[in-house]
Every structure is written in structure tokens, then in C-alpha cells.
Structure 1
Amino acid sequence: MPRFSVIVPAHQVQAYLPACLESVLSQSYPDLELIVVDDCSPDACGAIADEFAARDGRVRAVHLPRNRGLGPARNAGLERATGDYLVFLDGDDTLTPDALRALADRIKETGEPDVLVYDYARTYWTGEAVRNQAARHLAERGPAPFRLTDRPELLKLLMVAWNKTVRREFAEREGLTFPPGYYEDTPWTFPVLMTAGSIATLDRVCVHYRQRRHGSILGTPSERHLDVFAQYDRVFAFLESRPELDRWRPALYRRMADHLATVFTRPDRLPRRLRAEFLRRARVHCRRYRVPGAPAPLPVRLRHALLRLGLRRTWQALRLASSARSRAVKVTARLLRAVRTVTLRAHYRVQRCLPLRADRAVFAADDGRGHGCNPGALEEAFRELAPHVRTAWAADPAHHHTIPAGTRRLTPGTAAHWTALARSRYLVHNAAFDPGLVRRKGQVVVQTQAGTPLKHMGLDLWERPAAAGRTDVARLLRDAGTWDYVVSANRHSTLTWERVLPGRYTTLEYGQPRTDVLQRATPADVARLRETLGIPEGTVAILYVPTHRDYRRTQRAALDLERVVTRLGPRFMVLARAHPRHGGPLAESAGRVLDVSDHPSVQSLCLASDALVTDYSELMFDYAGLDRPIVIHADEPEAFEAVRGTYVGLRDFPPGAIARDEDELIGVFAGGHWRGARSAQLRAAFRERFCPYDDGRAAERVVRRVVLGQTDPPPVVPLAERRPAPSAAAGLARAPLTTVPQPAGPRTVTDSL
């Protein structure tokens, strides 16, 4: 008996059906049967189904003698299904890679629920893909499985069959089938959710829902859109046959009224001659099934009332008025933005005519996220070594609390910000200032970058469009032409930046300023930080920091962190930090997994931890300076190399042990290899190559050169003489740690960062 029965009805989708079937058969989880139902299609769908059946024994082609519609075609597949779970897929849609494995893992993890609801993305003929806007309702929070009464917001999701997998025995026991006609999903999905004894969710895009340019059934004006009334009659008849479900009547009434309003207002649904008839029937249905006092927002109640009363002209008048109001608001907002932009530009031009202030410096980092990174370390060094220079930091108001008390706070885009940019002598950033910035004669622009480059950057992104995304490489090059200095951590960084971001700047190969705090911290600082984070004494804290994956749309940890700490035992915990591009959280804080995505200082997290686990994050170069263990979780190396590429081959020059999957990672820690002699040798070579100047005085060297004009920087402390604060686990016994006996359990290996 296969795990999944994938049922694909096919009618006039010959151009898309091969891709649909290939997306199923190429799944990494092969335990499936694929039932293709040719709904007497006049094109080549039947022949395509037969070709796939002849090629793969898991495929069965079913040919209906006459066209019966999507619902009966699915029923024909249901009658022949033998799998544990039913998966429905329309003939012009596709499964995402590894979708069935993710479904199987989640089903096992949640104890074989009756229904598992997952997410989808709309894919347009232009190539654009947009994830479901209601994805927040699929968050894997709280206990699972659950019942609909625990998560009633699931009724707000798109009511279709292909965003959920249903246990076959449950569907057969409840006698659930699809009716004929349009909107056949409605009498299926509502009963499925209401009667399910257990439900789970999977916050992952498993289906690509094709938005065809022409030929969509629901996007074609037809009198068959009147079938929506019969479908809701079936839903409420089902409720009447099951009195214990009567509590769902108010929610179903609201969903029905919303659905009818959508069909009526969409210009591609109803022919003009049927609009009056549709509104009349909508009025009858709303009066028939209305639940008095059913709570709903005022605009929704108004729309429902107009449907119920059949006030067609009033409806149209309100729609026109609402549309006019929306246009007026948008036009007014655009005008106000344009006036503000013109005013600020004029203000900036005036300020550029005024004298520079030699005692002013403006800092910013990470697109306004707050005080930190290399500019943060330099700002502190400015205040300490050049107190005559008054510093200001530009950040969004939500991050102003991170700015030190003695530093002026600026909000990007304000008149004060443009004044500071126009008249300050020193401008320091780790990315790019506003594109409207004009470097004045006498200004000094310091570009610190955001770390040692591991992934391809700058000019190298031109050959990698998937990684470049919306990056404006031409703008980067223009920006590089304004730099006076670029701070470099090592020779590798110098050679890379000067090639991929060429300019007339001077490279200051002085070290990474943001690592100064790592070298200066004391054991007391480490203890204080661990206490602040709630790390128990004697616990090995693993900092897990995955990087952004350009080829993935969703943020999801590549590791099942709860399983990792369970297998490793009570002496371990994980601090999970999402990539700044996503904002987090990366994991749910529970037990010995703590999400620290919102923590303001990644350097503090490095000091508090005992080991770093990452895939392709540049943080490994900073962490190596601490001389603490680093473990590389090198999952999907071929995909990452093909899309983004790396300058440093981590398999040839690793900073420590390498694990290819979750079980290997557990073995590395359980066997003690993470802090063994071989790992220490690899880390020492890595540290020597990439941390030659990270001795705690990198920011001082930059300030003495740029501000104080000293051409001979302070000498670098040799690696052998550096004494970074040891981790709290350094004093623990070095004997291998044995894993806690556990079953293999589900493994989550999808949608990593």
C-alpha cells in the first residue's frame, strides 16, 4: 500500500500536464501512486497519461467515457486510490521539490492526523511566483495535531482540495466525495475540516498554483458560475445532517456571503445578462442561511446586508464611490510624496552649498537596522580616540534604542538626515547610503563592508541572476566610485573587494572592527551574557546561524532543532538566529531551543555560545577569531554553489568538522569531534588565514589612519599571543558525549535559509 495516492484530473491541459506529472514522479519521496483521470479531454491529455503509465509502474491512467467535470473526475480517482493519504493536484499545477517528503515527515511527526493543510504559491505566466497571503494561518505553533475548534482561522484559507492531504480511511468513513459543477471544492473542504478528528499544518509551499494567461475555468464568463448556490446548499445540508456541527453555521454563512460577493464583483465571472439573476439568488441564499447577530466587521456586514436585500444599484453606487475614494487617496498620497521628495532634494542642495563641518561624522549599517556591525565598532572608536568629532547614527526609529546615549539619533529620509549627509566630513557605512547622496569635495567616505566575503559579490553577481535578484550592480559600482577607504579584514577580502567592486579607494587591511569586542571580552563578560540569555551552568550552547538561500522563497531551518537537542541530551541547547534578511523567528523557543533572531548583538551571542553551527554564513570568519569550535552543516552544496557560489571551498579549507546532514551533525557533537584535535588543527589554519589582524585593535587602526592621519598603525598582536575569552564549555570534560537513545524520528530537511 503506497503512502500517498496523488489524483490528477486532466481536461484540456495538454501543455501543462507533462510538467505536472513529472513534478510528482520526480519527488524524493517515491512511495506513491499517481492516478491520472482523463476526463474525456479532446486534446492529448489521454495519450500523455498513457505514455506516463507505460513509463512508470506507479502511474495509472483512467479514461472516462464522457466529460463529467472536475468533481466526478476526482471521484473516479478516489474509487481507485489505495494509498494512506490522498493528495489532489490539478493538471496544470505542480508539486514543489521534496514536497511529499515534507508531507510524510510532518504526518509522522504529528501522529497521523486526518488532515494536513499546507501552503501554495501562485505562479504567473510571466514567471513571477507569489506565496499565499494567508500563510500566517499555517504557522506550526502550539500543540499538533488539533481540531478545527482550536484553530478556526483555517476556514479563512482558500477552500480548495489541493492545499491539503486527507487520510483515505477518514474520507471513506465520512463518505466524503466531490459534487458536479463549478466550485466543487466547497462541499468537500468544509466537511473535511469540520469533521476531522485531528488536523495539522505545514508552513511550506508544496504546490505551485498556475495562473494561466488565458483559459482558466473560473476566469471565463459563464452561467455555470451560478453553480456556487447549489454547492452552498450542499454544505448547509451537510450541517443539518450533523447537528453537532451546527456551531460552524455563523462562520460558514460569512464565508458564503464573502464568496458570493467575490463572484459577483469579479468582472471575469458573470456575463452581464446574468448579474441581476445572480444578485436575486444571492439575496435568497443570504436570507435562507443567515445567522442573526453573527459577528463581522462593519464593511463585511454592509456587504452581506446588500447581498441579502438585493440592492443592486446601491451596491454598484457604493462600489463606484469606494473606487473613486481609493483613487483619490492614492493620488493625494503620491502628490504628497512627490512634494516631500522635491522639498528634501532642494533642502539637500542648499545644505551642500554650506561649509563642511570637520567635527561631524555620520554612521549607518544594515539598511537602518540599528547600531552595530563594523560601523558600530568604528563609531565607538571615534568617540574614544577622536572625541572632538561628534557622531550621529542613522537608523529607523524602531532601532533608536540601540544607539548609545552620547550619539545623535537620525531617521533616514528626514531633513536632519540630509543635512548631516551634506555637511558632515566623515560618512561611514557597511552597505550603501541613499542613492541621492552626492559626495562633496573634502568629505571622507569609509566603506566597511559587512564581513569577509564567502559568497559571490559585486561584479560576480552579473553571471548569477538568481542570486543577484533585485541587486543593482551598476549602482554598486557607482557607489564604489565615491569611496575613499575600504576596510578589509584580510588579504582574501582585499583581493576580492578590489576585483568585484573596483574603484579608486584605498584599502585599509587592518582587520574586522566588529571582532574587537570578541577579543576584549573577559570570562566575566561571558558569564554575564550567558546568564542574561538563560543558559544553565554546565550547558553546551550551540549557536545555529544559517545563511540566506537565494533559491528558496520561504524561511525554514534545515535542521529539526528539537530533534537535535533531544538526541544530544540535556547538556546541550541551541541558540537559533535567522538571517537578518528574514527577520525571524527561525525556530520556536521551547525547551532547550532558544530563538535569538531578535537579539540586538550577534557578537554577544558569539561570546555566550560554545560552538557555532552554520552552512555558508560569513559569521564563521568572525567566530574563528574566538578560537572556539565551528561545525559546517553543508547541506545542498551543489544547489548553493550553482546559484550563489563561494570564494572559499569549505570542503578544501574548512574551519572545523563538516556534516552533510542532520544525523552526521548529531554524530559530530555526540562523538566529541566538534572539539577534537583534528577540528582544532583545521580551525588554527583557518584562523591564521582569515584572522591575521583581528586582535581587538582593528577599529583603532582605522580611526588613527582616517581621522588622526597616522600612517603607521599600531602593531598587530601575533596570533600566538592573543587570549580571547574561553567558552564556558572549555572546562568541561573532553570525553565524547553519548547520545540519548531515541528513535530516528522525523527529519526536517526542507526550506532552509
Structure 2
Amino acid sequence: MPELSVIVHGPNTQDHLTGLLDSLAAHPLPDTEIVVAAVGDWARRTAQRHAPHVQVVPLPDGTSDAAARAAGAARATGHWLHFVRAKDGLPPGSPRTVAERVADLPGTVDVLLLDHLRSTWHSSGLPSADGPLLARAGRTDVALDDSAYLLRLTPLLGTRVLRAGFWRAHEEALTTDDEPHAALAALLLADRVACLPHVAHEDRRLRPASLPPVTAEQRYALVDRYESLLDLARERPAVYTVLYEIMVRDCLRTFARSDMPDQVAKEFFHRASVAALRRRPEGHRRPAGLEGIRRSLLEEGAYTKYRAFQKANRTRRTVRSTVRTGRHRLATQVRDLQYRGALHRPVDPHLAVFAAYWNRGVACNPAAIAAKLAELAPHLHPVWVVTGRNAALLPPGTDHVVPGTRRYWEVLATAKYLVNNVNFPNAVVKRPDAVHLQTHHGTPLKRMGLDQMPYPAAARGLDFAALLERVDKWDYSLSANSHTTRMWERAYPSRFVSLDYGYPRNDVYYTAGAGDIRAIRERLGIAPGRRAVLYAPTHRDYEAGWTPRVDLGALADRLGEDTVLLVRGHYFYEGAASPLTGLRRSGRIVDVSSYDPVEELCLAADALVTDYSSIMFDYANLDRPLIIHADDWETYRTTRGVYFDLMAEAPGPVARTQEELTEILTTDAWHEESAAKTRAVFRRRFCEYDDGRAAERVVRRVFLGQDEATLPPVLPVEQRTPAPSPEEACPS
């Protein structure tokens, strides 16, 4: 029998389970077993990738935390059980430290208490307040009646390691979804406890805005928790008194810090007041000062007086804050007045605002959605947000507004639908009856959102708190595959609904015909019979400008007269001096950096060469040759961070040098059978929902309100027919 069973339980929320199991697998211990009570398919697959280092107990979606803990404990064989939620972490070396400590404990000890770290979406490794209390207890085992102050430890089940026999004896009492209740009950039920003043657990607090709203009954359950725990401590005066203090403090903090509707707040205050009076220990004295006033008002049940007391304190703080911050600039005030005035107008149910790539024009997923909207919902009026510089490039008849103008703020304030592939400005207010659709503009290989925080080059200049305020306005988030859905859940933790419909901009890869491809190639000047290779590298956070990582002139010479290189620089470098200027006149290198839409370039190309750009995921829909040029993979991965190892899961041949790239393109390696098999695996994973009807699904669901079950089902990859290749469309 192993000494310790680490029982990891729950769903793979925001992909935290992956890192937890990676860390455990990196340092296996002979006297420790890992049992994963995996809730849902994602957690199950994640856990199974770590077999045989872990035992997997698959559980269906929706299994409660309590049921998952019980299922994991039933499989465990260790003398001691350490329950760790899948969202949490274990600092390096902590399982070994815990295993060594429990091996030395006498048989009378039921619970070992641990110290922990705290992490949130914006910080990690924060020390807890538990260290001094654990140090005070020392390493000698104690009875709770002699050390009731231990009840003040943070009530986390992950900081309690339980003797397996103790768990089995009290499983019913400890099997509850109220984790703080279980953590406190474990102390109250234990004969003796021991302490380990060592950080051996990481409590990761998920962003509240990514969790379901707290219901009224969940608020009231806080009072019920302490009522039932006080029943367990009724005959233990020292323990009872400390637990009562904890109850009153917790109820007051929850009341003050939680944004409850008034009726819920009144009922919560009433229940807390009744419990505070009924459960008050004989002779108990309230503290002095403001805290004493708060407790007195609670015991009186004086809800109105308490609110007035809060308001007075808040007013005092507001005055101080106003003095510190000063006045806003006049221009901002004028803008705010105009916008605020427009916000008082009714929402226009027929108005839809579209924007793409920081107001560059009609492009990407928003453009494809707007086109389908005109077909299926012509009663809705689209208005595009476009910079003054780009307004002249709009298709004729496109209704548009320029950022900062009066009408710009009016349409943002009154539109029923707001669609963007990035984010609208921070100042945009999310009206309750407006619908915000975030379409995104690619499948993520590189780290995005909050996942950029550990990478200084990628995080430079980003205000993550402001980012999350923008994310909280999303009603819907569009996704092309389940990988993307899960990474958006990680990177942008909020309550948006994921639309697993595919990217509308990719519909054209299944709807374009041979005539369309011939027309595009003719516009680009590609003669029939010539091979077109699209070279589309991505932006690098660690570079100030764009310097092609390929000697394009030398490559064009090696590829010969029958090949045209279509070179597209990243849009981040728009307006900068192009390094392609001296090469354009050769006829074999065409600078298409300003050509839109990019989907037409993909349709025109016989093959794509890229590095880490998300264009690879879109181009894979065409089932045409894809080559990865990754001469700086290690640097890119280290400075930007990535979600998977592209070198191991590439969509085709990988070149690490220009010589290797040239060899691939001048031999059959670029389109041989092995490359096609690799590409097929990549397509199944990353073209999962793209089948040519993504825009239709979006319009029917978001704009027409149709039920999910009535939407066109996603066609399996093997049943799809991509647009014809240039060779098929343009026979020489």
C-alpha cells in the first residue's frame, strides 16, 4: 500500500489540470499514487495522456465535487488521502514532503494540516495568512480543544490530509459540495491533528466573472453551514466560541463585499442576525470600535441602520478618492456626455455594428457574418466602424462611422448587436438588451489573454484588468475547434457562451468554385500552369519591425520561373517601410501584404509556407500542401509561449533552415503521401467545425434567435469537399 494517495478531482477548468498532472508526472514517488477522478471528456483525455503514472476514474460531466472526491477515494489505496481540486496546484516537491511527514505520524492523528499559496488570474504564489498559526502549533500533534485557534486556518480541503480510516469513518459527513464545511468538519471530527508549516498546496481562485452567478440559496447556505458546524461543537466551549466568532466575521464580510440584490441582502442579514443571537455563547463580549458597532447592528437585525452605516463610510472614502484623482479632462467629459445621452435612448433592434482588426475595414469573420446577414436577415441594418484612413477603401454603399465622431458613439450606444474580431473600446457600455459577439481572428498556437502574463515580451503594455472588463461584455465567443474553445476558456475566463460553429471567414474554402479561383489568380497575375506559393510569416513580439527570415530572392531563384512567391507581411507592420521593395519587379515575387481578403490569397496558392501564424489552421481547410519554416522555434516558444508543440504536431513538413525549406519545395517532399497523412491529422483536430456553413449557424442563432437544435449540423471532415485546387481549376 502506498503511504499517500493524491486524489485529483473535478473538470479540467480552464486547462489547469494539464499543468498539475505534468508537475506530478515529472517527479513520480514510489510511496505516492495519483488518482484522477476526471469529470467530463476533457479531464478524462488529459488524465489518460498521463497514464500509467496516474489512475483514471472517468466521471460524466456535471458530477459534483463531493461525488468526484468520493469516487477518487474509493479507488485510492494509500494510508493517507490528499484531495486536490483539478483547478489547484501542488508546489514542486510538496507530495514528497507530505508523504514523509505522514509516514512519521502516530496512529492517533487523523488530520495533517498544511500551509498553502494563493493564486488568482493576475497574481501567483501569494503567501497565505496560515503560516503563523501552523508555526504556533509546531510539529507535535494536538487536540482541537487545546488549539481551537486552528479553526481560523483557511477552510480548504486541499490543506487537510486525511487518514484513510478517518475518511471512511466520516465519509458521509465530509461528502458535501460545501468545501469550507468539509474542511472545518474534518477538524471538528478529528481526535488529534498535526501541522506541517510547509507550503504544500496552491489554492487557485478562478475569476468570479468566469463562474456561474451565486444564487440566493447559496448565499443563505453560508449561515446554514455554521449552524450545522456549531451543532458539532456544542459541548466544546473553547471550540464553540472560536467557531462562533468565525461565523459572525464571515457573515459580515459576505454581506459587505457581495453585490446582492436588496431582497436577498435583507433575507441574508435577517438569517445571519437570528443565528448571531441564537448561537451567541453565554457571556460573550463584542469587540470595541467599528467592528463592535457592526456586530451590535447585526444582532439587532437593524438592516436599514447597517446600510446607513455602510453609506457613511463609503461617502467618506469617496470624498478622499475624489480629492486624489482630480477632474477629468474636458474633452473626455464632452464625449461621455454625448455617449451617456445616447445610452438613454431605446436600443434599436434592427441595428448591428461591425468592426474588424481595430477598425481597418470590412474583413475576417465579421465580414462573412455581415454578408450572410444580408441574405438571411435583410431587415437588420449593418454599420461598420472604420478609421478615416480606411473609409475610402470600403465597398461602395457601405454604411460606416469613424471612431470618435458623434454618430460613432450614437450607434455604439443604441445598437442591438455589436460584432468584432478584437474588442470594442473600454468606454463602450454593455447594455442589458444588447448582444456582443466576439468572433476572434484565428486559432491560437501562441499564448493569448491572461496566458500572456508570464511572458514579458508578449505582455508589454497590456492592462489585463481592463482586458477582462472588455471580455465580461461578451455574450458569445466564436470557435473553430474544441482546442480553441478550451483555450479561450483559459485565456479569457468569463461567462460568455461558446459558439462551436466554425469560423465564417473559412466558409469560402468550401463554397468557392473553379471560376472563382481562376479569377483570383488572374487578378494576381499568376499565369495558368505556374505554381503559386504563399509565404505568410507572423509577428514576433521580440522584434521591433519585420525582417523576412528567408532570403526571398535566393529562394525565388532556386524555385525557378514556374513558381511565383506571394509574400504577405503581418498587418502589424502596415505603414512601415517594406523590405520587399527591391524584389517586387522580378515577377516571381509578388508583395501581397496589402491585398484583402487574405482568403483569396489562400484560394490562389498551391501551397502555404508559414511559421507560427494562425493562417495555417485556416489554410488546412483546403487540404493543400502546408510547410512550416521554424528557424527560431525555441526563441518564439520561450518569449511568446505556445499551447502545443508545433514541431511534434505540424500540418506538414518542417524546415529549420532555408536550405531545408528550399529542398522541400524543389523536391516532392512538399506534396508527398506522408505530408498528406500528417495534414489529415491536423485537419481533423483544427478544422473541426469549419464546413462552409459557419456564418449561417451564427446568423440563425445570434441574430434570428433560432434554437441550437435547428441549426445546420457540422459536417464531418471526411464528408467535406474543399474548393478545387489551382491545378484542378486552372489546367495548363
TM-score by length of 1: 0.52
Partner Cα separation in structure 1 for residue 695 and residue 531 of structure 2: 31
Q: 2:455 aligns with which of 452, 464, 468?
A: 464
Q: 1:444 aligns with which of 431, 435, 440?
A: 435
Partner Cα separation in structure 1 for residue 632 and residue 413 of structure 2: 46
Amino acid of the structure 1 residue aligned with 2:424 = F
Partner Cα separation in structure 1 for residue 379 and residue 618 of structure 2: 31
Q: 1:714 aligns with which of 695, 712, 715?
A: 712
Q: What is the CA-CA distance between 1:408 and the residue it aligns to?
A: 1.2
Partner Cα separation in structure 1 for residue 352 and residue 394 of structure 2: 14
Q: Is the 8 A contact 2:528 2:731 kept in 1?
A: no
The answer for the alignment partner of 1:700 in structure 2 is 696
Q: Is the 8 A contact 2:362 2:384 kept in 1?
A: yes
Q: Is the 8 A contact 1:630 1:656 kept in 2?
A: yes
Q: 1:727 aligns with which of 725, 728, 732?
A: 725
**Aligned pair in 2 of structure 1 residues 401, 680: CA closer, same or farther (>3 Å)?**
farther
Q: What is the CA-CA distance between 1:569 and the residue it aligns to?
A: 1.2
Q: 1:532 and 2:523 equivalent?
A: yes
Partner Cα separation in structure 2 for residue 621 and residue 554 of structure 1: 25
Q: How does 1:52-131 map to 2 (within 5 A)?
A: none
The answer for the alignment partner of 1:389 in structure 2 is 380
Amino acid of the structure 1 residue aligned with 2:712 = P
Partner Cα separation in structure 2 for residue 697 and residue 599 of structure 1: 25
Q: 1:677 aligns with which of 660, 673, 679?
A: 673
Q: What is the CA-CA distance between 1:487 and the residue it aligns to?
A: 0.4
Amino acid of the structure 2 residue aligned with 1:606 = C
Q: How does 1:209-248 map to 2 (within 5 A)?
A: none
Q: What is the CA-CA distance between 1:402 and the residue it aligns to?
A: 4.4
Partner Cα separation in structure 2 for residue 348 and residue 609 of structure 1: 46
Gaps of 5+ in 1: 1-336, 735-753
Q: 1:614 and 2:610 equivalent?
A: yes
Q: Is the 8 A contact 2:514 2:730 kept in 1?
A: no
| SS across alignment from 2:527 | coil
Amino acid of the structure 1 residue aligned with 2:660 = E
Q: Is the 8 A contact 1:481 1:503 kept in 2?
A: yes
Q: Is the 8 A contact 1:624 1:683 kept in 2?
A: yes
Q: What is the CA-CA distance between 1:393 and the residue it aligns to?
A: 0.4
Partner Cα separation in structure 2 for residue 703 and residue 373 of structure 1: 15
Structure 1, residues 97-153: CA drift from partner, whole Å, max 9, x if none?
Answer: xxxxxxxxxxxxxxxxxxxxxxxxxxxxxxxxxxxxxxxxxxxxxxxxxxxxxxxxx
The answer for the alignment partner of 1:590 in structure 2 is 585
Amino acid of the structure 2 residue aligned with 1:538 = G
Q: 1:604 aligns with which of 600, 619, 627?
A: 600
Structure 1, residues 462-519: CA drift from partner, whole Å, max 9, x if none?
Answer: 1111111212222111111111000011100000001110111100010011101222
Q: Is the 8 A contact 2:529 2:731 kept in 1?
A: no
The answer for the alignment partner of 1:418 in structure 2 is 409
Partner Cα separation in structure 1 for residue 551 and residue 728 of structure 2: 26
The answer for the alignment partner of 1:628 in structure 2 is 624
The answer for the alignment partner of 2:336 in structure 1 is 345
Partner Cα separation in structure 1 for residue 729 and residue 691 of structure 2: 23
The answer for the alignment partner of 1:474 in structure 2 is 465
Q: What is the CA-CA distance between 1:622 and the residue it aligns to?
A: 0.3
Q: Is the 8 A contact 1:541 1:575 kept in 2?
A: yes
Partner Cα separation in structure 2 for residue 380 and residue 341 of structure 1: 35
**Aligned pair in 2 of structure 1 residues 513, 732: CA closer, same or farther (>3 Å)?**
closer
**Aligned pair in 2 of structure 1 residues 497, 377: CA closer, same or farther (>3 Å)?**
same
Q: Is the 8 A contact 2:518 2:729 kept in 1?
A: no
| SS across alignment from 1:368 | coil
Structure 1, residues 265-301: CA drift from partner, whole Å, max 9, x if none?
Answer: xxxxxxxxxxxxxxxxxxxxxxxxxxxxxxxxxxxxx
Q: What is the CA-CA distance between 1:648 and the residue it aligns to?
A: 2.5
Q: Is the 8 A contact 1:371 1:402 kept in 2?
A: no
- Would you identify which runs of 4 or more consecutive aligned residues in structure 1 move more than 3 Å? 337-341, 401-407, 729-734
The answer for the alignment partner of 2:659 in structure 1 is 663
The answer for the alignment partner of 2:361 in structure 1 is 370
Amino acid of the structure 2 residue aligned with 1:717 = L
Gaps of 5+ in 2: 1-327
Q: What is the CA-CA distance between 1:671 and the residue it aligns to?
A: 1.0
Aligned residues: 398
Structure 1, residues 396-436: CA drift from partner, whole Å, max 9, x if none?
Answer: 12222443445411111111110000000000011110111
Q: What is the CA-CA distance between 1:721 and the residue it aligns to?
A: 2.6
| SS across alignment from 2:507 | helix
Partner Cα separation in structure 2 for residue 571 and residue 438 of structure 1: 54
Partner Cα separation in structure 2 for residue 623 and residue 343 of structure 1: 46
Amino acid of the structure 1 residue aligned with 2:372 = A
Partner Cα separation in structure 2 for residue 400 and residue 593 of structure 1: 29
The answer for the alignment partner of 2:421 in structure 1 is 430
Q: How does 1:27-38 map to 2 (within 5 A)?
A: none
RMSD: 1.8
The answer for the alignment partner of 2:93 in structure 1 is none
**Aligned pair in 2 of structure 1 residues 715, 401: CA closer, same or farther (>3 Å)?**
farther
Q: 1:653 and 2:644 equivalent?
A: no
Q: 1:550 and 2:541 equivalent?
A: yes
Partner Cα separation in structure 1 for residue 667 and residue 502 of structure 2: 35
The answer for the alignment partner of 2:684 in structure 1 is 688
Q: Is the 8 A contact 2:360 2:390 kept in 1?
A: yes
**Aligned pair in 2 of structure 1 residues 401, 384: CA closer, same or farther (>3 Å)?**
farther
Partner Cα separation in structure 2 for residue 430 and residue 710 of structure 1: 23
Q: 2:550 aligns with which of 556, 559, 583?
A: 559
Amino acid of the structure 2 residue aligned with 1:387 = P
Q: How does 1:314-329 map to 2 (within 5 A)?
A: none
Q: Is the 8 A contact 1:629 1:656 kept in 2?
A: yes
Partner Cα separation in structure 2 for residue 380 and residue 586 of structure 1: 35
TM-score by length of 2: 0.53
**Aligned pair in 2 of structure 1 residues 471, 393: CA closer, same or farther (>3 Å)?**
same
Partner Cα separation in structure 1 for residue 551 and residue 331 of structure 2: 48
Q: Is the 8 A contact 2:364 2:505 kept in 1?
A: yes
Partner Cα separation in structure 2 for residue 665 and residue 726 of structure 1: 25
Q: What is the CA-CA distance between 1:339 and the residue it aligns to?
A: 4.2
